[in-house]
Structure formats: C-alpha cells, structure tokens
Structure 1
Amino acid sequence: MSPFRDQPAASCNGVFHGDGGEDKRFCLDPQCSHSARCDHASSGSDSASASSSLFAKFDLADLNDSEKLRRVIIASVKGFSIGAGLKGGLALFSILARLRRTRFASQFASISLSLSLSLSLICRFKETLRYGLFLGTFAGTFASVDEIIATLGGHRRTGKWRALVAGLVAGPSMLLTGPNTQHTSLAIYILMRAAVLASRCGIKSKRFGKICKPLTWKHGDIFLMCLSSSQILSAYILKQESLPRSYKSFLNKHGGKDVAILQGVKAIASGLPFSNLDAIERHYSSKGVDIKLDPQMKIPCSIIHGNQSCTAHVASFFIEAYKRALPVYLPVYLIPALIVHRQDLLKRPSSILGKGLFGTARSSLFLSAYCSSAWMWTCILFRIFRRCNVPMVAMGTFPTGLALGIEKKSRRIEISLYCLARAIESFFTCMADVGYLPQFTKLKRADVVVFSVSTAVIMHCYAQEREVFRSKYLNVLDWVFGVPPPPAESPRYCKRK
C-alpha cells in the first residue's frame, strides 16, 4: 500500500490531523513537517507565511500524487516479474528437458525436434509475456482503483469495501492471457482459495463460528485429496477429454502408461469389447516382454503390468516415478526461494538451498508414492472382487489421496485445493457431456467472472483480515502491494522529522 498509509493519523502540538475527507487548513508552523491538515494555523498569520504555506500545500499534494503513481508502477512491475518469472521458469525447465532428449536422438529426428523446439520456444515466450502482462495489469489495476477510491471517498470511510471493489475490477485482466483462452481450472482454484479464506474468517467469527466448526477437521485436507483423486484418476483412465490439456499431459507422463494400456483398461471397465489388444502386445514387445493377452479376461492386471506381479510392478514403478518427479519440483521450490527469500539467500544460502532440496526430495516422494499407489490400490481391489468396472475404478483411486500425508502440513491444503479445482472441472464436464448440465457449455467466459469474484474476496481479506493468510503469502502480497494499515486507521499524509 502507499507509504502514507502505514501510520495512524498524526497530531501536531495536540491538534488532530484528520482524514482526507475533512476540511481543515494546512499547518503554517515552520517547525512542523506534516503535510496533513491541522487547525493550529492562527488567523493572524501574515501574508508571507500564508503564501509560503500555499506553495507547501501544492508541493506536498504533488508528492502525495507521485507516491501514489509510484505505488501503481511498482505493483505493476512486480506483478509482471512474478507472472513472467513463474511461467518462464517452468517453460525453461520444459525446454531443457526437450534439449536433453534431442541430444540422444538420431540425426534425422534431431532436426525434426530442433524445429519443433524452435516453435515451442516462440510459443513459450509468448505465454510468458502474456502471463507477465496478466499479473502486472492485475496488480497495477488493483493499486490504481484502491488509490482512486481512497482519494475520492476518504481512506477510512472506504476501508471496509475498497479492496473488495479493487479486486473485482482487476479480475478481468485475466483476458490478457488470450481472449479465447479458457482458464477454468485457474478460476476454480482461486475460488477454492477464496473459500478457504472466507471459511477462516467464519471460524473466528462469533456469528458463523459454530457453522464453520467442521472446517477445522485436522485431516480434512487429506480427505479432500482422496475425493479429488477419485474423480481425477478415474477421468485419467475413463474420460481424459474432461481434463485440462496441460493437466492431462501431466497425468499421462507421471501415470507412466502407454495410451494403448489405458484404452484396454477403459474397455474392460466400461464393459466394451477389446479393440486394441494387438497394440498392447506390440507395446510390451517393444520393451522386450513377450505376452499374449486373453480376450476373455475379467481383471486388467496383465494389461497394466504385463508378466510382472502386482507387487513387483508397484516397486519398479515407484523408482521410475521418483525419477520423473524430481524435475517437476525443482522449479517449484527454487523459483519461489529466489523471490520470497531473496534477501536471506545472500545471508544464509546453504540453509535456504538445503530446505529447497529437502522439500524437492519430499514432494517428489509424495508424487511417486501417489502415482504408484494408484495402480496398487486398483490392482488390490480388482483381485479382491474379481471384476473391473467404473465403480471399482472410482473406489480404487480414492485411497490414493492418502499419499498426501507424506507432504509437509502447510502444503497439503494447497495441493488438495489444486486437485479439487481440477476434479470439480472434470466432474461438471462429464455431467455436461452426458446431458445433465446442458447449459454448462453455453456459458461464455465464466472463468473470468469466477476469477474476478474470487480475487475480490481474497483482496478484501488481505486488507481487512490479514491473520487468515499464511505468512509466505502475506510476504508476496506485501512485496507487490505494500502493507495495508489497520482497518480503523487513517493514512498518514506526512512524516515527522
């Protein structure tokens, strides 16, 4: 927030310096450095003092305006740096991974991959620029609307609702990522974050405390993860088109199974005749495994892991999954460390980097355990009941969420909400596809509306209920927007010498 808003209203010689909306004269005392308005200017002041005060008035007013403009510019630049940094960092790791694959490819394939890499580089650069503009515009718009409302309506009088309106107005900046680019997953995730903050406010409220009591359940995050996993992993096997493209690509990579295998499991779970057993056999043959699949099989274990036993498959899959997970979490921990802990990184780099590497190893363990347990639980259930159908797939993927217990407690709610957002999107897409929600697909840019409402709630909580935020998020928000004053205090328009 503006540097003029970090202290309560000041007084000069016992005289109150009021809010911006009060009509008081400027101080004429040459020993007073306040730019606020006060009453101790005597009516007998000479014209020279009055003229000097008049110039001081305009100079200080210009200073206030310049500080407000400075806040808007700084917020925009910092917002841009976060958006471009996060998106660009993820793109950089993706490109490095492709370069590694290109190095071991044949010459002909290398030329093809190099051309594809060049096109991908251009596309990623555009995405990085768009996301930087998106967050930069959001931050700048929020700061601008906040300052305009405070100037016109008074800081204290508008304090209870100003951030809510500013967050709502800044929300449509999402359109800068592309007018035809839907961000349903992001909008739902931000909505979940807003709901969590609102529920925390409700828990500490006397009026809604009892209603929100169930939200304080200690392991509620793990339950949400289990619930989300049931929908997400079922959709991964049975209806991948209901998942966002980027998330589907993520699951296909870390799920570790060829598309032909997933199609075979889908066929047996849906009660359809097999149409690609030859493709599955060829896939295993390319890996040196000679297998002949039974068209009359009741459970798909031989489709999932060939000649391996269920136990051996889980063990080997876990090792491979851990190798795939490590490159995912390196940017997740290292990039925020450069932004949030940028000052401490110079003072104690070994401690900060050590925590980052430990977090990377721990989160990679979670992801690998999550993916391998998905195949483990489904195999166990299939063998117990000797059948495979859609309810069995949903039930088998539910306990997969228990792997979230490996993660650090503070990260569990973040991961569960992230997955819940995608589960909700997938669920409603499935319902719309079967005709239960015919109007769902007709909504245009509902993601922008949901995102705007959610950011309004989040920014209102940031200005009025800061204690419901975790410290790491407050550090980032304060770095971008500045620290807002307590709700009942007026901004300081001046400084003491």
Structure 2
Amino acid sequence: MDNAWENFLEAIAGLLSMALTNKETEKVIAGFNNFQQRLQRLSSHNLAKLNLEITAQKKRVSKCKHEGKTCSQNVTRGFFKTWMIAYVVKYLIGVLPAVLTGKAFKNPAIFKKSGGSDTVGFAFFLSSFLSAYKAVLCTMRYYRPQHEGDRLNAFVAGSVAGLTLLLDKNKSRRTALTLYLFTRSIQFGSSYSMKKWAEHREAKRSTQRLALRDAVHSSGKEHALVTKSGWDDILAKVMSSSAATVLMSLTAAVNLYSCVIEPDAMPKSYWNFLMQHSGLPQKFGPMFQPLLDTFRSQYVTLRELPGGMENIGIPAGVTSKDFVSTNISPNIATLYPSNLHHDFQLCALLHPLTPCSGHSMDVITGEFGRAVKMYGTLNFIVTLVFQHKKLATQPKEVARRYIKSTLRSCLFLTVYVWAAFYTPCVMRRIFKRERTFMYLLNGLLAGLAVLIEAPGRQMELALYCLPRALETTWKLMLKRGLVRNIPNGDIALFCASMGVMMTIYQNDPSVINNHYLTVLTRVFGRN
C-alpha cells in the first residue's frame, strides 16, 4: 500500500513540475512528502485501532454458544418462546384433569378460568426468568472477555434471574418452586463435590504409585504396583450407596411425625396424600378429623405420664368402647364394636375397628390396592408417552417391564405405609410408654422401604420427599421459636439455588444426570 501511495504522488509531482519553477516545484514536492507521511501515520493508526476493535469484539463474543443468533436475538426469542410454551403447558395442566374427569363439560367456565391471570402471570414470570438469565450471562461475558471459565458469570446470571420470582404472586407456588430447586441444587452440588473428591483420591493414588515404582526401581526387585483403597475410598463408596436410603429415612421421619402429631406444620396437599394412603379418611368419613384430633390430644396427655400399662393401656376385661366412652370421648366411642379390646389407648384411637394384628393386615391389603391404582395409571401414561415406538416393535418386553415396575413400586409404597402406621403399635409393646421418638422411629424404618425400588428411582423418591420435609422442619422450628421467618427469604434461597445450578450446568454438566440435563438443555438452550 505504501508503494502505491508513493507512485501516485510521484506521478502528480512529475506533472506539476512541468508547469512550475524549480523553487515552486521543490515546495510542492516537500508539501506532498509531508502529506504522504501524515497519511501513512493516520492510516497505520486507524488500521491498528480497527484491528484491535475487531479482535476485542471476537474475544467478547467467543464465550457465547448461541450460534446463528446475536445476544439480543437470543434473549428476545427466548422470552417469547418461553412465554408461549409456559402458557400452553400451564393451561393444559389446569384443563386436562377436568376434561378427563368430565368436570369441564359440566362447567365450561373451567376452560376460561384455566387460561386466566394466574396462567398469564406464571408464563410471564418464567419467560422473564429465562430471558433475564440469558441477558445477564451475555452481559457478564461481554464485560469480562479476558476471564477464563464461566463460573462467576453463570452464578451471577442465575442469581440475578432468580429475582424474577417476585413476579409470581402465588406464594405457595413460589415456596414449592424454591424448595424444589433448592433440593436440586443440593443434588447437583453434592455430585460435583463427589466428583472432585474422586479426582483428588485418584491423584493421590497416582502419586503413591509413582513413589512405589521409584522404590521398586531403586531396589531392583520385581513388585506389583498396587495401591490399596484408603479409608476415604471406602467412605465414598458407602456414602454413594447409602445416600438415597439415609435421605429417604430422614425425610420420612420428619414427614410422618408431623403427619400424625403436628399436621399443621405440614403442607396440606402432602398431608392429604399421606392420609389417603393410610386408609383412615375412607373408613371413618366425617368422623376422621375428630378421631385424629382426639388421638393427638390423648398423645399429649400420655406423653407426660410415666411409663407403664396402668398409664397408657386399657385394663383387661374392659372393652375399648367402654373405656373411650368413659375416659376420652363418648362421641368417638360410637365408632367401636361392642366386644373389641385394645391393649393400648392410642392403638384404640388409631385403628378403632380392629386389633393391632388386624390393623396390620388391613393396611397391607388396603394400601396395595390403592398403590396399584396410582402406579398402574402413572406407569401406563409414562409407557405410552416415552415408549410408544418400542411398544409397537416389542410389546411383550414393554408389557413385562411395565408389570415389573408397577408391582415393585406398589410393594415399596405398601411397605412404607405399613411401617409408618404399624411401627407405633410395636413400639408401645416394647417400651410401654408414649414418647416422641416412637413417631420418628417409624419414619426411619419406613424409609428403608425405598430399597425395594429400582436403584435409579431411589434417589428420585428421596428428593421428592425432601422439599416437604424441609418445609415441615422449618415450620416445626418456627413453632418452637428456634428460627424466624425472613422477609423474602424464599427469593434469596431461590436466587442462591439458581446460581449454584446454573454454575454447574454451564461448567460441569457431566455431574447432572442425563434426564435433568436434557430438561435443562431444552429449557435454557445453549448460551
């Protein structure tokens, strides 16, 4: 380029020299030379500046993975796409049960109500959350082009996007979303920690093998380069294999204690679910709630008394009906058969129609039937949705797996409910007293039923129960004055949970199981 400029200027100077004197020519040539040098400086400076801008621009966008779209397009499309999908899904969730049960045809207003302000608001929250995450993530990358990794970017983006939960005015849904994502952040964070711990142990073993190799080489003797598992390897194996069972037992202990003794601390929907599977509401109808209230009241009374049959039992030769009528409640006594005798007062109040042995069989047979209805329907829908292609090509195999999965899940739930409601009867016979630990121990034992389920489902079942247990635990501590509610505490927890989840999703997706990784990828896309 410099040669071109020189040739051009020399040609002009040659033409002008024919019309000018020597002195004038020299002045013109000197002026052209100065002009040439200035142009060269300006051109070089501008080209260098332009090159720096292009390079910087490349660096700024290099971390973004939304190929084919600019950052603003990615945010805008994400907002509208998410809003439409969220609205349709929320609408269908509201309408389909009513359609399947026939209620929607008797009351057509359900179609309009399901698409009302709550559905619009939820869709707006979800789309705002997603677009805010994308926008903040791209912005962080733009202003931090030189920083390696994406951890801080993803954490800030997830945390800031979590503030959009304020847009959802449904407080119970906000709590449910927060607790669900909090449990998932714990799961993903634990998986990440276990992965890093495994890498640390492997690095330590590699160092040991190298040291052993050097020692063998220096001694000149042949020796197998084998390193034994350390205590940390054994601990990691035990933790991995027992995590689901331990978590299920702990959550069951909290949930079942609250279900019977302090139901006001438990989410109402989950309490209804557990009670339906106990079979008590179906048996006693409108008398169910008074019966349960009487049970809790009598438990509080007996808990303060010393142990012994004289305090918690029903005297021999006295029917349960007569004892309850005289000492507890004449109204409740109308439920009892005339000649039935229970050994313990609370056994009489928990299962008035049968002795403990009959109650045990009643729970098993009744719950198995209820479980078949629930899991049979659920697994049938899952099979149709996710295995419809295989159903056409391998119907026998699909049917076999469906039956096996359904029976296995039914057996799990039956044993869970049986242990929950029969263990207190056994504990009374052993300890001859009423104590709080008896209503925690039944949950610990009931949680072991998760071992019946397929290994891949054990942790999912535990994580399903965990949000309810967390909410229940918090309310129990509130009642005892151990904690205080924090204004917008659910928002803060939601933000922190999303920050952790998005950090792992963007940087270490391998620690997320395939199912949830697929869901996250479909929701958040490649950013």
TM-score scaled by structure 2? 0.64
Aligned-pair RMSD on alpha carbons?
4.4
Pick the aligned partner of 2:196 from 200, 205, 216.
205
Q: Name the counterpart of 1:300.
A: 346
Distance 1:429 1:248 in 2: 14
Q: Name the counterpart of 1:218.
A: 241
Distance 2:455 2:90 in 1: 23
Deviates more, 1:312-321 or 1:467-476: 312-321
Residue 141 in 1 paired to residue 132 in 2?
Answer: yes
Residue 472 in 1 paired to residue 515 in 2?
Answer: yes
Pick the aligned partner of 1:77 from 78, 81, 90.
81
Report the CA distance shift for 1:167/1:244 in structure 2 as closer, same or farther (over 3 A).
same
Residue 175 in 1 paired to residue 166 in 2?
Answer: yes
- Please report how far the alpha carbon of residue 322 of structure 1 lies from its aligned counterpart in structure 2 after TM superposition: 3.4
Pick the aligned partner of 2:499 from 438, 456, 459.
456
Residue 387 in 1 paired to residue 433 in 2?
Answer: yes
Pick the aligned partner of 2:301 from 271, 290, 295.
271
Q: Name the counterpart of 1:256.
A: 279
Distance 1:70 1:335 in 2: 35
SS in structure 2 of the partner of residue 161 of structure 1: helix
Q: Name the counterpart of 2:310.
A: none
Which amino acid in structure 1 is aligned with residue 499 of structure 2?
A: A
Distance 2:168 2:400 in 1: 35
- Please report how far the alpha carbon of residue 320 of structure 1 lies from its aligned counterpart in structure 2 after TM superposition: 2.7
Distance 1:166 1:150 in 2: 10
* Mapped contact 2:505–2:512 kept (Cα < 8 A): yes
Residue 190 in 1 paired to residue 181 in 2?
Answer: yes
Sequence identity (%): 22
Question: Which structure has greater helix proportion?
Answer: 2
* Mapped contact 1:83–1:135 kept (Cα < 8 A): no
Residue 290 in 1 paired to residue 337 in 2?
Answer: yes
SS in structure 1 of the partner of residue 151 of structure 2: coil
Distance 2:462 2:124 in 1: 28
Distance 2:402 2:85 in 1: 21
1:91-150: CA deviation from partner (whole Å, max 9, x where unpaired): 7447756859x9xxxxxxxxxxx77x9679937976555544443433333233333433
- Please report how far the alpha carbon of residue 292 of structure 1 lies from its aligned counterpart in structure 2 after TM superposition: 7.4
Q: Write out aligned runs for 1:5-84 (5 A).
A: 23-24=53-54, 64-65=68-69, 69-70=73-74, 73-74=77-78, 77=81, 81=85
Residue 231 in 1 paired to residue 254 in 2?
Answer: yes
Distance 1:201 1:270 in 2: 45
Report the CA distance shift for 1:82/1:175 in structure 2 as closer, same or farther (over 3 A).
same
Distance 2:378 2:87 in 1: 14
- Please report how far the alpha carbon of residue 221 of structure 1 lies from its aligned counterpart in structure 2 after TM superposition: 1.3
Which amino acid in structure 2 is aligned with residue 201 of structure 1?
A: Y
Pick the aligned partner of 1:423 from 458, 469, 474.
469
Q: Name the counterpart of 1:42.
A: none
1:256-305: CA deviation from partner (whole Å, max 9, x where unpaired): 222233223312321169897344344x4xxxx635788x9744222222
Q: Name the counterpart of 1:324.
A: 370
- Please report how far the alpha carbon of residue 315 of structure 1 lies from its aligned counterpart in structure 2 after TM superposition: 2.6
SS in structure 2 of the partner of residue 390 of structure 1: coil
1:317-348: CA deviation from partner (whole Å, max 9, x where unpaired): 23332343455556865777788x49967986
- Please report how far the alpha carbon of residue 412 of structure 1 lies from its aligned counterpart in structure 2 after TM superposition: 1.6
Question: Structure 1: where are the runs of 5+ without partners?
Answer: 1-20, 27-35, 39-62, 103-113, 485-497
Distance 1:362 1:94 in 2: 30
- Please report how far the alpha carbon of residue 87 of structure 1 lies from its aligned counterpart in structure 2 after TM superposition: 8.2
Q: Name the counterpart of 2:6.
A: none
Which amino acid in structure 2 is aligned with residue 390 of structure 1?
A: T
Residue 247 in 1 paired to residue 266 in 2?
Answer: no
Report the CA distance shift for 1:345/1:385 in structure 2 as closer, same or farther (over 3 A).
same
